[in-house]
């Protein structure tokens, strides 16, 4: 069966041009407005919508938003005469899979359509397959629930996703969830940690090479891009990629094609990119170590994973889940956590986030042996230290932000900066909470200049400031 395309274009000339070039290969229908398109989408099944942004009445951007509701899984290709970064980003955010510029070239159009049509046929093949079990992500806090809702809603589209957050916050887990909730889930999810591979090898790893490309290249090698064709490529620690490779990556993102090492032939791929980093990319852009254009290209949808200490409601359910998981896999009986151990777990500042909590639970489960409860002394020293200081001193009663400070410095040392930042953040937020969000009064309470206060707040939490405040007030 031919792929069904709906063209929404007000300009008669463009309409005719498109229809002429596609009717042989596709089953095409054209309308002049978004309203007509909505009517038709309600009645008839289409696989792909090609739409102009500039339409009389309802705009193309608004139509984009209706498409997935009217026809889940539909592919949308946007045409525009005025391609600003803002329109492009907005269109991508609203689910556009592809973006074409006017004057429209038949070649670009046909190539975009053939990539899309191939995906349609793959979707048709895989829709009969079984649904995969969803990844088990604990999300009790408001921030995490919001973030997961966002992740699920953008999952079905081809938009590039950037996930940032401290190490161990669950970036890779979220990337996997996005892949699993996408129409690409039966195709591979290929992961590559850019920081783990030496720069000279990374290019080969990404793009592969042909036989004889360099001394020692006795066989050809398929790169990760090609392995991920039709699926998702997860580029972890993208902030550590070298500038020359950043330029190459940008080109693949823009043109969906590349040359293998030692080859002049271009290879075309259909890959969705999910990138992650624990680095501050905005800062790297401003100091010149990360390309601004690549940053904008990756930043279409940005999911910021908050540190575990900023979403303490997640600690208990996470600890429970991790404990059950570990006991089951180690053949241990199910265990419960003793109250003083709970206190330690929930008041510690977790610089290593969920990964550190996971290690702590694993260790506690093993140390407690045949005992059915986890006691305070089963927890690692640094976790225990925080609780002892924060909870057993009278200071805790006046609600001063001390639980983040450990009493003893553990053998492996600790991050001075992380602790100071946590204390600073808690002070700022508590002061804000006390004044109902009034920054001037909050600054006064801390004997600080208003500008210093604002600056610190901004530096600690550039964007999620409001979310955090909300969280704090909800607690």
Applying CB under 6 A, the residues found at the interface with ligand ADP are: 137-139, 165, 167-173, 318, 354-355, 358
Q: Interacting stretch for Mg ion, rule CB under 5 A, among 79-87, 171-179, 203-211, 279-287? A: 171-179
Nearest-approach distance from CB 138 to ligand ADP, in angstroms: 4
Q: Which of 11, 140, 172, 229 binds Mg ion (CB under 5 A)?
A: 172
Going along 33-107, which residue ranges are E strands? 48-52, 75-80, 98-101
Both structure tokens of 119: 């995906």
Does residue 424 belong to the site contacting Mg ion (CB under 5 A)?
no
Q: Interacting stretch for Mg ion, rule CB under 5 A, among 43-51, 125-133, 167-175, 378-386? A: 167-175
Does residue 173 belong to the site contacting Mg ion (CB under 5 A)?
no
**Which of 193, 292, 189 has its CA nearest to residue 240?**
193
**Which of 177, 274, 163, 271 has its CA nearest to residue 223?**
271
Nearer to ligand ADP, 75 or 275 (CB): 275
358 binds, among Mg ion, ligand ADP, none (CB under 5 to 8 A by kind): ligand ADP
Residue with tokens 């996005």: 178
Nearer to ligand ADP, 54 or 167 (CB): 167
Cα(273)–Cα(252) distance, integer angstroms:
10
Nearest-approach distance from CB 379 to ligand ADP, in angstroms: 17
Q: Burial, 242: exposed, middle or buried (Cβ in 10 Å; 0-12, 13-18, 19+)?
A: middle
Nearest-approach distance from CB 308 to ligand ADP, in angstroms: 8
Length of the chain: 475
Nearer to ligand ADP, 207 or 326 (CB): 326
Cα(302)–Cα(276) distance, integer angstroms:
10
**How many chain residues interact with Mg ion (CB under 5 A)?**
1
> What are the helix (H) ranges across 301-380?
315-330, 339-347, 353-367
Nearest-approach distance from CB 167 to ligand ADP, in angstroms: 5
Nearest-approach distance from CB 174 to ligand ADP, in angstroms: 7
Does residue 279 belong to the site contacting Mg ion (CB under 5 A)?
no
Left, alpha or beta for 57 (phi > 0: left; psi -120 to 50: alpha)?
left
Query: For the chain, how far is it from start to end, CA to CA, in angstroms?
Result: 56
Nearest-approach distance from CB 236 to Mg ion, in angstroms: 5
The closest residue (CB) to Mg ion is 172
């Amino acid at each position: 069966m031919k792929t069904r395309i709906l063209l929404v274009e007000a300009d008669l000339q463009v309409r005719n041009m498109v229809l002429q070039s596609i009717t042989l290969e596709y089953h095409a229908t054209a309308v002049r407005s978004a309203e007509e398109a909505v009517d038709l989408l309600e009645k008839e099944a289409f696989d792909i919508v090609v739409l102009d942004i500039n339409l009389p009445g309802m705009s193309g951007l608004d139509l984009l938003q209706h498409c997935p509701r009217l026809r889940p899984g539909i592919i949308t290709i946007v045409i525009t005469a005025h391609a600003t970064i803002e329109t492009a980003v907005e269109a991508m955010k609203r689910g556009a899979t592809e973006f074409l510029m006017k004057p429209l070239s038949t070649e670009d159009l046909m190539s975009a359509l053939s990539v899309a049509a191939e995906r349609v046929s793959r979707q048709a093949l895989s829709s009969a397959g079984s649904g995969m079990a969803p990844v088990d992500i604990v999300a009790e806090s408001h921030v995490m629930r919001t973030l997961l809702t966002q992740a699920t809603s953008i999952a079905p589209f081809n938009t590039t996703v950037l996930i940032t957050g401290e190490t161990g916050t669950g970036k890779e887990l979220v990337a996997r969830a996005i892949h699993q909730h996408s129409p690409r889930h039966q195709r591979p999810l290929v992961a590559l940690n850019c920081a783990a591979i030496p720069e000279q090898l990374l290019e080969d790893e990404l793009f592969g090479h042909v036989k004889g490309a360099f001394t020692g290249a006795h066989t050809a090698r398929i790169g990760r891009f090609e392995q991920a064709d039709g699926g998702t490529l997860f580029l972890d620690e993208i902030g550590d990629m070298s500038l020359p490779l950043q330029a190459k990556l940008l080109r693949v993102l823009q043109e969906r094609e590349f040359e293998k090492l030692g080859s002049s032939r271009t290879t075309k791929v259909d890959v969705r990119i999910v990138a992650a980093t624990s680095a501050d990319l905005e800062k790297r852009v401003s100091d010149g170590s990360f390309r601004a254009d690549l940053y904008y290209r990756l930043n279409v949808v940005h999911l910021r994973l908050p540190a575990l200490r900023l979403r303490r409601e997640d600690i208990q359910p996470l600890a429970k889940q991790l404990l059950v998981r570990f006991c089951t896999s180690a053949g241990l009986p199910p265990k419960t956590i003793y109250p003083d151990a709970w206190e330690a777990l929930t008041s510690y500042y977790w610089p290593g986030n969920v990964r550190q909590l996971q290690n702590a639970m694993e260790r506690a489960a093993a140390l407690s042996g045949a005992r059915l409860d986890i006691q305070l002394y089963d927890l690692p020293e640094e976790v225990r230290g925080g609780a002892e200081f924060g909870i057993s001193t009278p200071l805790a009663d006046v609600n001063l932000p001390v639980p983040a400070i450990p009493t003893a410095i553990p053998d492996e040392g600790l991050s001075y900066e992380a602790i100071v930042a946590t204390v600073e953040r808690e002070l700022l937020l508590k002061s804000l909470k006390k004044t109902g969000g009034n920054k001037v009064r909050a600054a006064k309470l801390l004997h600080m200049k208003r500008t210093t206060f604002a600056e610190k707040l901004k530096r600690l939490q550039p964007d999620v400031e409001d979310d955090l405040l909300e969280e704090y007030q909800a607690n």
